Amino acid sequence: MPFSFSQPSPSGALLLLLVSSLLLWENVASGPLSSNETDGYPLSTNGLFHNAMRLTWNIKNLNMELRRTYTVNQVSEKLYENYMLDFIEDMEYLVKALTCCHNYSIKTPENLEEAQQIPFNEFPKLILSRMWAWNETSKILLTTLRSIPGMHDDVISLAKNIETKLAELFVYIQSLLNKIYGTTTGNVEYTVFSGLEDLKSSDEEFSLFDLCKFSYCLRVDIHMVELYLKLLECVVYVSSDVCLSKNIRDAS
């Protein structure tokens, strides 16, 4: 069933919700979007959205748990006692200041204001490039963790779980974007993630920093994917409850 971008009446609630940005995108994406009815995906668009959102939620929780479990199991008492309190507080700032995540050509929007600067027809490239990047990077993390002698099993199983969930999310998102945009092939930018080499370092501050870097970069990108899923959902179901709530702005 093709989605059409009927002009919504600019009711107060809608304007409130769309924060003017979707109306902008709508001009870009006017006209019906194609969809391939023979693509054979068993799930409805609604189901795809639902599953994708559930997975981003899972991945965010697993990511937090990974950082916690790593810190508890791999960081020595000495580092913990000497540095940890200051270190943890500063870590976020440090990672943010020092970190290049993937070398995407378009910087990851971090909030709705930044997200709305991206034209609607650039969404697939933005999202698929992140999904491809994390599908690969999570495998590298897992391989690296497994190669480290004495790595705690819980850390490895969390990394494995994150890898699996990311691959699943990638599949749902590909299906969704194909349904909404028609075809999205060729829309992926292949990027590299530098870092994770120090995870093997014998200096535990370096290895902790790399783990935090992975966790930070994943968090930023998954947050972005989640934001765009919500925006896409609003475009597809213009009057859905999701869009009429303040969810989107609260999430950004």
Ligand X SMILES: *[C@@H]1O[C@H](CO)[C@@H](O)[C@H](O)[C@H]1NC(C)=O
Q: Which residues bind ligand X (CB under 6 A)?
A: 36, 38-39, 103-105, 135, 139, 163, 167, 170, 183, 189, 191-192
Give the residue with the Cβ less far from ligand X, 27 or 183: 183
Give the residue with the Cβ less far from ligand X, 38 or 76: 38
C-beta of residue 120 within 8 angstroms of C-beta of residue 235: yes
Least Cβ distance, residue 225 to ligand X (angstroms): 15
Q: Report how far residue 118's alpha carbon sits from residue 212's, in angstroms, rounded to the nearest whole number.
A: 28
Q: Report how far residue 14's alpha carbon sits from residue 207's, in angstroms, rounded to the nearest whole number.
A: 48
Give the residue with the Cβ less far from ligand X, 51 or 71: 51
DSSP, res 82? I
Tokens of 81: 């006692």
Q: Report how far residue 46's alpha carbon sits from residue 155's, in angstroms, rounded to the nearest whole number.
A: 34
DSSP, res 7? P
Least Cβ distance, residue 144 to ligand X (angstroms): 15
Calculate the alpha carbon distances from 62 to 68, 91, 197, 219 in Å: 10, 19, 22, 10
Least Cβ distance, residue 35 to ligand X (angstroms): 9
Least Cβ distance, residue 62 to ligand X (angstroms): 15
Give the residue with the Cβ less far from ligand X, 103 or 117: 103
Q: Report how far residue 159's alpha carbon sits from residue 227's, in angstroms, rounded to the nearest whole number.
A: 24
- Virtual torsion, Cα 171, 175, 181, 185, nearest 10 deg: 50
How many helices (H) and strands (E) are present in the chain, helices listed first? 11, 0
Give the residue with the Cβ less far from ligand X, 107 or 246: 107
Give the residue with the Cβ less far from ligand X, 33 or 84: 33
114 assigned ligand-binding residue: no
Tokens of 123: 């969404």
- Residues annotated within the binding site for Zn(2+) are 226
- Residues annotated within the binding site are 226
